[in-house]
Structure formats: C-alpha cells, structure tokens
Amino acid sequence: MAGRKEEELNGVTLLGNQGTQYVFEYAPHVLEVFDNKHPGRDYFVKFNCPEFTSLCPKTGQPDFATIYISYIPDQKMVESKSLKLYLFSFRNHGDFHEDCMNIIMNDLIALMEPRYIEVWGKFTPRGGISIDPYCNWGRPGTKYEQMADYRLMNHDLYPENIDNR
Amino acid sequence: MAGRKEEELNGVTLLGNQGTQYVFEYAPHVLEVFDNKHPGRDYFVKFNCPEFTSLCPKTGQPDFATIYISYIPDQKMVESKSLKLYLFSFRNHGDFHEDCMNIIMNDLIALMEPRYIEVWGKFTPRGGISIDPYCNWGRPGTKYEQMADYRLMNHDLYPENIDNR
Amino acid sequence: MAGRKEEELNGVTLLGNQGTQYVFEYAPHVLEVFDNKHPGRDYFVKFNCPEFTSLCPKTGQPDFATIYISYIPDQKMVESKSLKLYLFSFRNHGDFHEDCMNIIMNDLIALMEPRYIEVWGKFTPRGGISIDPYCNWGRPGTKYEQMADYRLMNHDLYPENIDNR
Amino acid sequence: MAGRKEEELNGVTLLGNQGTQYVFEYAPHVLEVFDNKHPGRDYFVKFNCPEFTSLCPKTGQPDFATIYISYIPDQKMVESKSLKLYLFSFRNHGDFHEDCMNIIMNDLIALMEPRYIEVWGKFTPRGGISIDPYCNWGRPGTKYEQMADYRLMNHDLYPENIDNR
Amino acid sequence: MAGRKEEELNGVTLLGNQGTQYVFEYAPHVLEVFDNKHPGRDYFVKFNCPEFTSLCPKTGQPDFATIYISYIPDQKMVESKSLKLYLFSFRNHGDFHEDCMNIIMNDLIALMEPRYIEVWGKFTPRGGISIDPYCNWGRPGTKYEQMADYRLMNHDLYPENIDNR
Amino acid sequence: MAGRKEEELNGVTLLGNQGTQYVFEYAPHVLEVFDNKHPGRDYFVKFNCPEFTSLCPKTGQPDFATIYISYIPDQKMVESKSLKLYLFSFRNHGDFHEDCMNIIMNDLIALMEPRYIEVWGKFTPRGGISIDPYCNWGRPGTKYEQMADYRLMNHDLYPENIDNR
Amino acid sequence: MAGRKEEELNGVTLLGNQGTQYVFEYAPHVLEVFDNKHPGRDYFVKFNCPEFTSLCPKTGQPDFATIYISYIPDQKMVESKSLKLYLFSFRNHGDFHEDCMNIIMNDLIALMEPRYIEVWGKFTPRGGISIDPYCNWGRPGTKYEQMADYRLMNHDLYPENIDNR
Amino acid sequence: MAGRKEEELNGVTLLGNQGTQYVFEYAPHVLEVFDNKHPGRDYFVKFNCPEFTSLCPKTGQPDFATIYISYIPDQKMVESKSLKLYLFSFRNHGDFHEDCMNIIMNDLIALMEPRYIEVWGKFTPRGGISIDPYCNWGRPGTKYEQMADYRLMNHDLYPENIDNR
Amino acid sequence: MAGRKEEELNGVTLLGNQGTQYVFEYAPHVLEVFDNKHPGRDYFVKFNCPEFTSLCPKTGQPDFATIYISYIPDQKMVESKSLKLYLFSFRNHGDFHEDCMNIIMNDLIALMEPRYIEVWGKFTPRGGISIDPYCNWGRPGTKYEQMADYRLMNHDLYPENIDNR
Amino acid sequence: MAGRKEEELNGVTLLGNQGTQYVFEYAPHVLEVFDNKHPGRDYFVKFNCPEFTSLCPKTGQPDFATIYISYIPDQKMVESKSLKLYLFSFRNHGDFHEDCMNIIMNDLIALMEPRYIEVWGKFTPRGGISIDPYCNWGRPGTKYEQMADYRLMNHDLYPENIDNR
Ligand SMILES: [Ca+2]
Ligand SMILES: [Ca+2]
Ligand SMILES: [Ca+2]
Ligand SMILES: [Ca+2]
Ligand SMILES: [Ca+2]
Ligand SMILES: [Ca+2]
Ligand SMILES: [Ca+2]
Ligand SMILES: [Ca+2]
Ligand SMILES: [Ca+2]
Ligand SMILES: [Ca+2]
Ligand SMILES: [Ca+2]
Ligand SMILES: [Ca+2]
Ligand SMILES: [Ca+2]
Ligand SMILES: [Ca+2]
Ligand SMILES: [Ca+2]
Ligand SMILES: [Ca+2]
C-alpha cells in the first residue's frame, strides 16, 4: 500500500504510538525528523497550528494563538506529531508573544537546518489589543537569505480585519 | 454545434465513457492528453480537486485534501476525467502528504511536458495540525524555470485563517 | 461616573485586582457573584468563551473548545473575571467533552441559582471528528423548566458547516 | 418633494441642526420623538448602533459594544439623531454591561411608550470573554407582553461564532 | 418556446419595451400586474431590491436601502419591471424610512390585493446608526391575518451583524 | 461492494449511461424513479441545483437560477441524473420564474407522489431586481398538508442579504 | 488529573490505542460505547464528520460528504474514535446517499438506544446536482417521537447557498 | 442630463433597443464598440459575467462558468449589451473550457484592438473537478506585451478555496 | 480638545453646516480643501463611497456603484463632506461608467494637485454583466508617474467573486 | 515557568498593575518599552486595535476606527498595555482622521526608534463615506527607508468591500 517504506520512516517514533507522553514544560528535545525524499527541488511545507497556548511571563495568565509555520526543507523534515508535542510543551511556559515565535523558529532551524523558514503567530486580544509577531530566516550566504528579506519586505500588506468578536 | 472536431478529440477515451473502471491503487497510466490548440500563447489552466483522499503510510488512516493544480500547457493538455481517475487511484495508497504532492507533479510533468506547473495540497488536521505542501516546476533552461523560482519566492505570503472547524 | 455604586460591587474581589492567581486544577470555589439589579425582569446574559482548554481523560492530550453560556439571572449574577478563572481551572483537568459541559452548568446552577441556563461547547476535531455537547436547565416546577424542554426540542436545527479547516 | 410635512416634524429639533452639543454624561433628556403616522398597524423598527462605548464601573476602563434596538411603535417614535446623542451620553458613564442594556430599554419605554421593545448589546471581550446581554418588554396586560415572553423563550438559539479576532 | 402565451401577458406593457420613461417623482400608477396562473396554491414570491434611494424629508440628503418584498399572490401579480420603475420614483421623494416602507406596502396591497405581504427596508447609516423598518399585512378576517401576526411575533430574532463597514 | 442490489436499481437507465441525450425542450418524460427502501420512516431528501437556466417568455432573454428541491418520499424517489436532464430541458423553454417553479413541483408530484415537497428558485437580477419564488405541497387530507401550511407560514423570515454583486 | 475514572472508561478499547486497524468494508461491529454519567438530564451531543466517503452502487465512483450526527443519550454514548472507524468502513461500500444516512442512523439506534437521534449528510455534486438526505428518530411511544416529528416539520427552512464552487 | 452626447453613441444600436434578438449559435458579429473618450490615459475596464453557459464538445452536456474580462482600451471600447449577446451566443456551442476562453479573447482583440486584455473563466465541476482557464494578451512590441508576461507570471498565487458546495 | 486649530480649518465651510444644499446636477465647484499638515511625508488617504448613483446616458435608467478613491496628498486635501456633495451631484447626471470614473479623477486632480490618485468604481449589473472601471494618475515627470504605471500593471490580479446576488 | 526574567521586564510598570489610571486627554507619556531580545533579526510585530475612538475637531462628534500598527523593532519594543492606555488617551481628543494616524506614528517613532513602522486607520462612515488613512516610515538613510517606499507603492491594491452595513 505505502509509498514510504519502513526504512524511510526511521526515527519516526511518535507517529501512531500509543503511550504518548504530553509534556507541558518547554521541551525542544521531543522534535523528530524524517528524510526529505525530494531534496533536488525547492518546495514549501506549511503547518497550520490553531491550538497553541502559553502563559504571560508577568501575570501568569494563559495566552492563545494560531501559529502558521512554513519552510523549504533541505535534507530533514519535521514530523508533525512531534511538532504537536513540542508546541504543547509551551502550555505552562511563560514568555512574551514575540519571544515565543522567535524561540520556535530557532528550535526548528536547529532541528532541520532548512533552506528557508517563517513563523507567524496570531494571538487573541488582551485589553482590546491583539499581537501578531512574524519572523523568518533564510540560510545565510544563500539565495534563501535574500528570499527572507524579500518576504519580510512584502509581509502582511493586507492585515486581516479584526474586531475582537 | 461543436468547436472541437472529432479528430481533435483523438486519444480522449474516458470522457463520456460508460464503463469507467475506478482503480484505487496508484495508477499513473490512466492519464490521457489532448492537443493544445493555442500553443502560440502562454496561458494557465487550473484544476480544483476537493475530493482527494489517500492513506497514512505509517498508520493506514485515511487522509483528505483539496488539491489545486495549475499549469501552462505546451503541446499536450491533460484531460480532466482521466485526471479524476488518476487522483482516485491514491485512495488506497499510503504516503506522506509532502510525497503525494511531489509524485502528482512528477507524473503530470512526464505526461504533458508542460512549460510550467504547480501543485498545492491542503489537508485536514491530524492531532490539531494540518499540513499544506506546495511544489512547482518550470522547464529547465527556459524562462519558466525562473517563473518557478519567482512564484516560490512569493508563495503564500497570506496563509488562510485555519481554526480546524 | 458610575451607575453601580461601591456597595453594589460587594463580593467582587477579582475584577481589576492585580495579584490574580491562575489556578489550573479544577476550582469551582473561585466563582464570584454580584446582585442582579433588575430581578423584576426576565432577561438573558450570554458569555462567549473561545479560550477553553482541558485534557483527554484517557490520553492526556489537550483539547480546545469555544463555550457559549447563556442564562436568565434570578438574584445573583456571575462576575465575568471569576468565570474566566474558573474556566482556566480546567487547563490541567481531564474529562470527556460531554462531562465538562455538564459540570460547568452544574457549578453555575449551584452558584447563581438562575432561572434558566444553557451551555454549549464546540470542540476542535480529533481523528477528523469534532464533538459539540449542549445542555440546558430550567428551575424545576417553574415555566423555566418548560423553557428548557422547548429550547432543547428546537436545538441546533441548522448545524454550522464544518470542514476542519 | 417631501411626504412628511413640516408640521409632522414638530418636536424634531436635532435632525439637520448645526450646533449639536455632544454630551458625554448620561443624558436621557436629549431623546426626542415624532408621531407615528401608521398607528393602525403593528410594525417593527430596528436601530443598528455599532458605536456604543461606556466605562467599567470598577476599573474605569472603556468598554465597546454594538447595540441592536427593535420596537413596535404606538403613538410616538424616537428620532434617530436624538438616539445617537443619547447613546453618546454613556461615553463617560460607568456601569456593567447588563445594567446599561436595562437602563437604555427603560429610558426608551418611558419616552415612547411602545407596544414592544427589545435591546441586545454585544460587547468586545475582556480577559478573553465577551458578554452579550439581551432584554425585552411588552406592554403589560396586552398581547405584547406575551410576545415578550415568546421572544425571550426563542432568544439566540444559534449563538454567533466568536473567536475574539 | 414559451409557456406563457401572448394573451397571458396582457397588460404587461413595460417589460422589454424600448422607450421606458424613468420617473423620479412618487408614481404609484406605473405599477402593472399580470394574472396568477396558480391561484389554487398558496406560494411566496420575493423581490430583492438593493437599488432603492429616497431623500430625507428634513435635510434633503439622499438615503439608500435594500428592500425585500415577499407576498402570497391571489389573482394578480406585480410585474417586476413596473416594480422597478415604481421604486425608482422615490428617487427625488422625501420621507422617513419608516414611512417609505408603509407606503410601498400600501400601494402593493391596493394594486394586487394579495393574500399576504411583507416589506423590509435596510438603510445605510446616518450618524453611525442605521434604521431597518419592517411591516407586514394579511387579508383581514382570513388566516393570512393570523399569518401576519405570527410572522411579526417571530420577526428578526437574529439581527444581522452590523459594523458600518 | 454495494448495498443496493442490481434489482433494486430497476428502472434506473440513465445513471452511468454513456449515450445520454441532452434535450433542451421541456421534457418531463425523462424523469425516472427508484424504490424507497425506507418507506416506514419520514425523512427529507434535498437537491441543490445551481445550474438552472430558462428563457424570458416575453423577450427570449436567458434567465439563471439556483433551485432547491426538498421532499419526503413515499414509495418512489426521483433519480438524480434524470432530474438533471429534466432541469436541462428548460434551457430553451420560456416562462416566468413563478411559473417554472410551480411546473417543476407539479411534475415531481405527478412522478413520485411524495408525502411532502417544496421548490425554491433564486434567480439573478434583471433591472436591479431579483425574484425568488417558493412553493410547497403536502398530500391532501394528511398531516403533510398541514406541514405545507406550517412551512409556508414560517418561510424565509430571514431573507439573505442581496446586493447584486 | 481526570474526572472520568479508569472504571468509567470500561469498554473503551480503541481510544489512544496504537495498533488501530482501519477496515474499509461496512463494519458496524467496530462501534463502542461508554456510560452516560448524566442520564437524569436530556442533553444533545453532536458529531461533525467532514471526512465521509463511500462509492456509487451503480458506477463505483467515490462519493464524498460531510455528516452531522446529533443525539440525546440515554444510558450509552458512542465513543468517537470507534465512530470514526465505523464511518471509515463505508470507504469501499456502495450505496445511494439516502440509504447510507438511514443505515448509519439505524446502526447507532441499535448500538446506543438513544432517546433521540438525527443524521444529516451533505454530499458533493455529481452532474451539477448535490443531494443532502436528513433522517431522524425518537424513541417510539415517548415524547422523543414527537420531538422527531417536530424537528422534521421544521427541518431546513433555510437551505444553505450552494453554487458548486 | 447626459455627459455622452448623441453623436458619441454612434454605432451603439443594441443598448435600450426593444426588439433584441437572442442568438444561441456562436455569433461574434453581434459585438459593437463605442469611442474611448480618454485615450490619453491607460485605465482598466472589467466585466463580471456570471451567466456564461456552453456545451461539452464530446457529450453535449451544458457547462456553466463565471467569466471575468479586463482590458485597457485604446480607441474602441466594447458596448456591454452587445457583449452580453455575444456571450449568450455560446449557449448551444460546444467547446472545451480552455478553447472558449481563448476564442473570446481572440474575438475581443479583433474587435477593439485593445492595449491589453485578459479573460478568466471559472467553471462548475464535472466529476468533482472544476477547471479555470486564464489567458491574457498585450499588444506585440509594446510595453503591454511585457505587462501580459508580468501578469501571467503573477497569476493566481492564491487560488480561492473550492469545496464544490 | 482639538489638535486642528480653528485657523487650520479655514475654507472648510460645509462640515457641520446646517443649511447644506444637495445639488443633483454635476457640480465640481462644491469641492473644498484643507491644508495637509504632513506634507513632508508620502501617505495614503482612502475614501470608501458606497452610495454613488448616476444615470445611463442612453436610457436614463439609474446606475449604482461603490467608488473607492485613494490618493497621496501634496499641499491640499479634499474635505470629505464636500466630496459627498460632489458625488451626490451625479444623481441626475447621465454618463457611461467608464466616463464617470475618469471625470471624478480629473476633478480631484484639478482640485488638490495630489502626488498620486486612483479611482475604482464597482457597479451593479445590467443584463447580467457588471462593469468596474479603474483609473489612476501620478504627477507627470515624478516618481508618482511611475507609481501609477506600476499600480496599473499590478491592478486587480484577483477579481472578486461575483454572482449577481 | 517564565522565559523572560524579572530583570528583562524592567520598565514595564503597567502590565498586570491594579490601579491603572485611564487618561482621556492626549497622553504620549504613558507609553512604555521593554528590550528586544532578538535585535540580530528583522521581524514584524503587529497590533490589532479595534477600540479606537476620538472626536471630530470641528463638530465634537465621536469618531470610531480600527487601527493596525506594524513595526520592525530595533532595541526597544512598545509594551501593549501602555499602548492601550495611549490609544485610550485620544478618547476626548479632537483631530482629523489623517492627523491622528500621523501623530500616533510619530509618537511611536520617538518612543521606540524602530527600523520600520506603519499605521493604518479604518474609520466608520460619516455622511455615507468612510476614510482610511495609511502612513509608514523607514529609518532615513537605511534600507528600511526604501522598504517604506516599496510598501507605500504597493499599498492597498485591493480595497476591501465596503457597503456601510
Ligand atoms: Ca471578527
Ligand atoms: Ca475562527
Ligand atoms: Ca475555519
Ligand atoms: Ca469549506
Ligand atoms: Ca471551516
Ligand atoms: Ca471572529
Ligand atoms: Ca466586524
Ligand atoms: Ca459589516
Ligand atoms: Ca459590509
Ligand atoms: Ca451588502
Ligand atoms: Ca452579494
Ligand atoms: Ca456564489
Ligand atoms: Ca459555494
Ligand atoms: Ca465553497
Ligand atoms: Ca455574491
Ligand atoms: Ca456589497
């Protein structure tokens, strides 16, 4: 039935695994990768993650966000169940919205060494104002670094309508 | 009544055919083409395909996606009923989302030898996260190769809002 | 400036309070009430609560929901900041979706002794299926009990469109 | 040109008036009425008022709401520019959401003596929760009183989707 | 080709007519009717009319509305092009929103003698507030009179969201 | 594979048939039925038909509509491909919108002898006004006749927003 | 952490289980139940299931639908992962849309013996027409049987807009 | 009243004309033009045409599309009523979607000799897949030819969401 | 209270003025300007104008549009109430859609001498087709002229979906 | 729990503070900053602010807007609660829409010395017209200045649909 053979799933230990442990303290080590079978081609993979929650570092109040992660893989690709567990590990972690997005991107860069990556968080409002941080990164000294500049320059020229309802 | 004459429909055997066989194992050979009557002009054809389903290669669980395929034809154009049968042939095939999109694009390149093509899959979530792979291709050594670079660089600057409902 | 006088805010200790403690274990005691100034009139108050999260009692995986709570007050009304803290207290609590909704309604009945109340949870999907429990209650032996029957009979004749995206 | 004659606009002093004074302290006396020319018929008039703002009675923080007012006139109808000025007079007034809606309805009952009236406020969230009070009233001892009961019983069986964005 | 025969279109003089005169002063006489071919059955016909404009009777400023007209025909049905011309005749007519809706319904009752009719106008805002009058009517002494009561009692329990944008 | 056996598809000649003839003159005889396997239960079947087009009986201009057909079957159910061919047969037929809806309902009553049926057409505008006829029918002398009355009385209390764009 | 204790999860064997077998032939036996902890109260549970696919019994072509299942539990409640597996078992099963909905409802009635249940399928179009069957059931001889009649009579007075895009 | 004088409407014979003939066989000769009064300026004119229908060249089945036509005029501009008649002339014409779009653009180029033009058709699905062809053209040897290349390269980076409902 | 001082409102005679005259014949002289307080910065001002109506120059039939006007001011800025009166002055003026948009832009250029300006009209359909003209202008010999070229080249790559409802 | 340590929150005095004073006169001094922990990276932070209200400088009438603020931080980042208090300080301040947006951007430039910033206000209509000013700024003599030019040139090519409802 399958296109991916067993050996092409080496290192994927969490997907379909029954005894999954949910860790709620910041845990970048849960991230797992598998091999990119199409490294000769630049292509995008996007993760839509509407179930992100963390804590305010000053007040301890829970924060909620939808996070969009897009990247161009090189040799390694992050496995999505491990990504889920990683994002769950912010559940009892306190940090500013802007810091969370940068940390997530840094961890994924360290994990996958992608060609390009971007992370966009869209939080629910506190005191009537919501905050949406966006960061991106291209491998230094390559065309992907210029890609990052270009995409930042063109970022979000059309902010979505927000009325807090 | 018709603009296309009978002989211009040569090779189109599936369209309007009663005894259609639905194959649910990966079957790229079902794809059929017809002649492009406007090869002197670059133009786009897009297929919207919201009825794609395949299997997870690890767990065997069905996956579901909407696939968008856009291409600039050269001499050959894929006939849409044969495209439908081809996409149905993934029904009992197991592969990662990212692999499916690359395979579909590869098969269409081999079939039509188009000037440019792109394939975007938007899957439903598993464990709260959904995955949307996008790949594209321009004929090497032509301006369409640069077109592919350009469109990748500009890809999806505005991710659609996703809340899993 | 104010219509509500200081003494009409008696018992409201959490609203505007700096040192708020966020409890993540089930804590119905944090709920607070204030007096209904219009008890001679039946009217509805609705709370829209899109930031609810709890845990699966079997797997420990986080669940997410939007909860809608509507009630007709009698003498007491729940203060909204205390309601927020109460809902946050499910953060590390494990229970089925159906049980959570019934528990929340039971706690609010015990707290406010309202004339009528209903609670509707709309969860994000697991395995492609999402669950939306709805329960309601009218004070036994009064017209509000019949109101509860009537509203249950008319509940959700038009389910919202769901495509998990 | 006009259907309404000058004398049918008696008492309408604010509409089209240049030197409008904007009062930001609760001022029910600014409300004005004109005659209902169709008193032989029951019909509805609805005001959509998305520019309502008041203050929290405890913290002084501004609150924002859209208010929907619907009524069946008897002999008098509220003039819409005076209604605007009246709603603006809550700008520096502090009261709970639930109290504001009841006060507005009481003032309009006293002003117009309508057959039926309802007022629905939809506020923006504080601490992730938004509050939507709804009250209504039918002239006691008439069929409009039963209408009020009926409409309350059928109120908001389909709460709108709220995600605070 | 046609189901309606020539003689069944008697009295329809405006439809398809080249030299249409557009009158911009209130002109109920332009309305035309044709025969209902299904008088043995109660059924609804609705007109959606988003191009209504009149003038404020006090200031002369243009007002704009979408009008929805629904009716159950008896023997006569209003022809839609004549209805268009009739609605255009309010272009330079000054009247309050509430009066316009009642006048339109009265004229259509006089014209068609329908079994039931209702008219709903939804105007654009002035000073941040928009006004939506709704009136209806059932033939007195028949079940359609009770239908009018019933529909008024159930009118607009779910006001559409309005934010003036 | 199948639940329906071959003999339960008796009379279904068009579904999957290659040599389908498309008739563009009013042709009620193309309609086909199959047996209802659940006659002991009242249930609804709805057809969404957004590809309806006919001609204006006076001017010959094409008209376009989406038609919604809902019914409770008795012993016979209309086969959907034959319904498609029937609706296509209005392509060169000229009739008023109101007449088309009544004719379609009459033909389906004659064909299926359903317990209940309703037909709602929503046309595109001519001269800025669009027309939406709705008719329904319940078997005379049964509870379904009262159902028709009830549904007509409750028909379309919330007309959809129309702005002709 | 949990509200549900281990013994209250007796019989729930599939949830969180690693070695899930996906069966693609009609398999009602995979359904599992757990105990309703709130049998003293009537309340609704809704499942949103946008990943349903079956086959046409005549042509073998895959069909796709979103299914909405709502019920009032009595003593037993269907476990959602087993419901997922049950719905997946239609993947290679051929039946008409109308038959599938009735079969699903029959199986859930046999499994749970609920007080009330309804099933609504919304399929994608074939030949420009889509079919949406809806069936419901209340326990015979109880008020839930009348509830079923009432809800059928009020079913889908506002068909959603469909344009096949 | 008018800005356009009578002589500036020379050649416009169909607009407002009573005896319009609707031709349903491909008829490019019905197209009419009027003079561009602003030839010193490059500007866009767009036609939204949601009422396009043609036939499948192989099966004869009707197809439906919305067509968007945008152009920069030079000396001549197409009159919109003649454009309507021209598009209606495809009603009984059989051609593939891709061919129809190219033919329409070719005819408008021959008619108007515009500086730039583009045509985008969005069809309803057959067999679950819909096809959207897009072609464009700039006057050869001018900057408008480069404009065509540029717009093709940037075409449809954000395909609209399609779910066939 | 104010940031703008009295003398900075010189020449603004219509805003807040009671005796406004509404002129319905083309009247560019009603336009008024005030000083740009930020001439050292390029910035955009957009007017959303959904209440535009004019007449067809050939048939006299009223036309309706929403107009979007965006500009980069130099020394002068158009006052919005005077803009409203100016747009109202097209009420009894007859011109083609394309001409109206060019005339409005020409008048605003003459009035304000802006750095850049664009005007987009979106009209309601006649005969099933709607027309949306767009024109723009940058000060000749400056970078704003190139800005106009650039924005025209990128204009409306994503036409909004139009279905005339 | 926290990622930000206490000393990294130096200068943040308002967040979580109980005795917040709400000032309703223009008060730029309430703005507070904290340190950017990722100054080595260009990234965006966006604030969605739908609760802005000020006064008309000529008439004193309240105005309402949603404001979108996006910036690339350098060393300092504005704290969001202080931003809320700053925006509230326009509550009784009178200024034209265009002036407010420029003032807000100027104050944030002075406060944070960002690399790039933009401010977009979207106001509710007065007299049927709404005004949306947009200004931006990049640090002079850096690539961010060119970024500002580029983003202005590409600003709002797709104005959102506005119908004042
Ligand atoms: Ca919103
Ligand atoms: Ca959402
Ligand atoms: Ca969604
Ligand atoms: Ca969808
Ligand atoms: Ca969705
Ligand atoms: Ca929302
Ligand atoms: Ca809104
Ligand atoms: Ca709106
Ligand atoms: Ca709107
Ligand atoms: Ca609208
Ligand atoms: Ca619309
Ligand atoms: Ca549509
Ligand atoms: Ca649709
Ligand atoms: Ca859709
Ligand atoms: Ca539309
Ligand atoms: Ca609109």
Which one of B21, B22, B60 has the shortest CB-CB distance to G22? B60
Indicate the pairing of strand F43-55 with strand F62-72.
Answer: antiparallel
Q: Average pLDDT, stretch I104-128?
A: 97
Asked whether the whole model's pTM tops 0.90, one would answer yes
Least Cα separation, residue A65 to chain J (angstroms): 14
Q: Average pLDDT, stretch I153-161?
A: 97
| Average pLDDT of the residues of chain H | 93
- Catalytic residue chosen out of the listed positions I49, I63, I100, I135: I63
Specify the pLDDT at position F13: 81
**Does position F159 have pLDDT exceeding 90, yes or no?**
yes
**Does position A15 have pLDDT exceeding 90, yes or no?**
no
Specify the pLDDT at position H141: 97
Lowest mean pLDDT among E117-126, G46-55, I19-28: I19-28
- Give the Cα separation of F24 and H124 in Å (integer): 19
Specify the pLDDT at position F19: 73
Q: Collapsing DSSP states into helix, strand and coil, what is residue B89? A: coil
Q: Which chain F residues have a beta carbon less than 8 Å from that of G154?
A: 154
Which one of E61, E128, E130 has the shortest CB-CB distance to J165? E130
- Give the Cα separation of H8 and B113 in Å (integer): 50
Q: Average pLDDT, stretch G69-77?
A: 98
Task: Give me the numbers of helices (H) and strands (E) for chain G, helices first please.
Answer: 3, 6
Q: Average pLDDT, stretch J39-60?
A: 95
DSSP secondary structure letter of residue D102: H
Specify the pLDDT at position E2: 54
pLDDT tens column, J70-128: 999 999 999 999 999 999 999 999 899 999 999 999 999 999 999 999 999 999 999 99
CB burial of residue G160 (10 Å; 0-12, 13-18, 19+): middle
Least Cα separation, residue B20 to chain F (angstroms): 9
Q: Provide ipTM, 2 decimals.
A: 0.94
Specify the pLDDT at position A22: 85
Least Cα separation, residue C24 to chain J (angstroms): 14
pLDDT tens column, G113-131: 999 999 999 999 999 999 9
**How far does the centroid of ligand 3 lie from the alpha carbon of residue A119, in Å?**
19
Q: Are D52 and J124 in contact (CB under 8 A)?
A: no
Asked if residue G119 belongs to a known ligand binding site, the reply is no
Q: Are D110 and D90 in contact (CB under 8 A)?
A: no
Q: Which chain E residues have a beta carbon less than 8 Å from that of H20?
A: 16
Confidence of residue B4 (pLDDT cuts 50, 70, 90): confident
> DSSP labels for F83-129?
HHHHHHTTTT-B--HHHHHHHHHHHHHHHH--SEEEEEEEEPPBTTB
Higher pLDDT, E59 or J151: J151
DSSP secondary structure letter of residue E58: T
Chains within contact range of chain G (3+ C-beta pairs < 8 Å): A, B, C, F, H
The residue behind tokens 């005169």 is E21
* Backbone region of residue B144 per phi and psi (left: phi > 0; alpha: psi in -120 to 50; beta: other values): alpha
Strand partners, C126: C129
Task: Write out the two tokens for H71.
Answer: 């152009």
- Give the Cα separation of G119 and G124 in Å (integer): 17
Q: Are H148 and H137 in contact (CB under 8 A)?
A: yes
- Give the Cα separation of J47 and J80 in Å (integer): 8
Chains within contact range of chain F (3+ C-beta pairs < 8 Å): B, E, G, H, I
List Cβ neighbours of C20 (8 Å cut-off, separation of 6 or more).
A59, A60, A61, C14, C81, C85
Q: Which ligand is nearest to the CA of E50?
A: 10
Other C-beta atoms within 10 Å of C22: how many?
17
Least Cα separation, residue C124 to chain A (angstroms): 9
Which one of A59, A102, A161 has the shortest CB-CB distance to J38? A102
Indicate the pairing of strand B33-35 with strand B76-78.
Answer: antiparallel
J33, J80, J157, best to mutate vs chain A, most A CBs in 10 Å: J80
Q: Which chain G residues have a beta carbon less than 8 Å from that of C132?
A: 45-46, 48
- Give the Cα separation of D125 and A128 in Å (integer): 7
Q: Are I40 and E1 in contact (CB under 8 A)?
A: no
> DSSP labels for chain I?
-BSS-GGGGTT--STT-TT-----S--GGG--EEE-S-TTS-EEEEEEEEEEEEE-TTT--EEEEEEEEEEE-SSEEE-HHHHHHHHHTTTT-B--HHHHHHHHHHHHHHHH--SEEEEEEEEPPBTTBEEEEEEEEE-TTSHHHHHHHHHHHTTTSSPPP----
Asked about A63 being catalytic, the answer comes back as yes
CB burial of residue A110 (10 Å; 0-12, 13-18, 19+): exposed
Record: contact B59-G88, CB cut-off 8 A: no
- Give the Cα separation of I147 and I155 in Å (integer): 12
Other C-beta atoms within 10 Å of G18: how many?
10
Record: contact C91-A62, CB cut-off 8 A: yes
Asked if residue E145 belongs to a known ligand binding site, the reply is no
Record: contact D83-E129, CB cut-off 8 A: yes
pLDDT tens column, B130-142: 999 999 999 999 9
* Percent helix, strand and coil across chain J, each to the nearest 5: 25, 30, 45
The Cα angle at residue G73 between residues G72 and G76, in degrees rounded to 5: 165
Record: contact F17-B18, CB cut-off 8 A: yes
pLDDT above 70: percentage of residues in chain F: 98
List Cβ neighbours of A66 (8 Å cut-off, separation of 6 or more).
A48, A49, A50, A52, A121, A122, B161, B162, B163
Specify the pLDDT at position A2: 55
Specify the pLDDT at position C42: 98
Q: Are B135 and A73 in contact (CB under 8 A)?
A: no
Find the length of chain G: 165
Asked if residue B25 belongs to a known ligand binding site, the reply is no
Other C-beta atoms within 10 Å of B6: how many?
9
Which one of I59, I60, I94 has the shortest CB-CB distance to H3? I94
E4 and D CB contact within 8 Å: no
The closest alpha carbon to C35, from C7, C68, C65, belongs to C7
Specify the pLDDT at position C163: 98
CA atoms within 13 A on the CB side of G135: 19
Confidence of residue B21 (pLDDT cuts 50, 70, 90): confident
pLDDT above 70: percentage of residues in chain B: 98
Any contact of D with E, at least 3 CB pairs below 8 A? yes
pLDDT tens column, A110-137: 999 999 999 999 999 999 999 999 999 9
**Does position C51 have pLDDT exceeding 90, yes or no?**
yes
Q: Collapsing DSSP states into helix, strand and coil, what is residue J60? A: coil
The closest alpha carbon to A100, from J81, D126, C64, J37, belongs to J37
The amino acid sitting at H138 is G
- Catalytic residue chosen out of the listed positions F35, F56, F95, F132: F56
The closest alpha carbon to A158, from J134, E133, D132, belongs to J134
Specify the pLDDT at position A39: 97
| Average pLDDT of the residues of chain G | 93
Asked if residue A78 belongs to a known ligand binding site, the reply is yes
CB pairs under 8 A between E and H: 9
J13, J18, J24, best to mutate vs chain C, most C CBs in 10 Å: J18
Q: Collapsing DSSP states into helix, strand and coil, what is residue J26? A: coil
J14, J23, J47, J53, best to mutate vs chain D, most D CBs in 10 Å: J53
Higher pLDDT, C10 or H85: H85
Q: Average pLDDT, stretch I76-95?
A: 94
Record: contact B43-H163, CB cut-off 8 A: no
Q: Which chain G residues have a beta carbon less than 8 Å from that of B48?
A: 165
The amino acid sitting at J82 is S
Record: contact J132-I80, CB cut-off 8 A: no
Residues with CB under 5 A from ligand 1 (ion): A 163, 165
- Give the Cα separation of H97 and H131 in Å (integer): 7
**How far does the centroid of ligand 8 lie from the alpha carbon of residue E165, in Å?**
5
Binding-site sequence positions of F: 78-80, 97-98
Any contact of F with C, at least 3 CB pairs below 8 A? no
Q: Which ligand is nearest to the CA of A160?
A: 1
The catalytic site residues of D sit at 56, 63
**How far does the centroid of ligand 7 lie from the alpha carbon of residue C44, in Å?**
23
A63, A103, A158, best to mutate vs chain J, most J CBs in 10 Å: A158
**Does position F1 have pLDDT exceeding 90, yes or no?**
no
- Flag residues of chain H having pLDDT under 70: 1-2, 17-18
pLDDT tens column, A89-109: 999 998 999 999 999 999 999
| Average pLDDT of the residues of chain C | 93
pLDDT above 70: percentage of residues in chain I: 98
- Give the Cα separation of F37 and F15 in Å (integer): 18
Asked about I35 being catalytic, the answer comes back as no
The CA-based diameter of chain E, rounded to the nearest angstrom, is 53
Least Cα separation, residue G79 to chain C (angstroms): 10
pLDDT tens column, B39-68: 999 999 999 999 999 999 888 899 999 999
- Give the Cα separation of H149 and B146 in Å (integer): 13
Task: Write out the two tokens for F45.
Answer: 């079947």
**How far does the centroid of ligand 12 lie from the alpha carbon of residue G128, in Å?**
14
Specify the pLDDT at position C2: 55
Least Cα separation, residue A165 to chain D (angstroms): 4
Specify the pLDDT at position F2: 57
pLDDT tens column, G86-121: 999 999 998 999 999 999 999 999 999 999 999 999
Q: Collapsing DSSP states into helix, strand and coil, what is residue E90? A: coil
Higher pLDDT, I13 or B152: B152
Q: How far is CA I15 from CA G137, I31, J98, in A?
A: 64, 12, 16
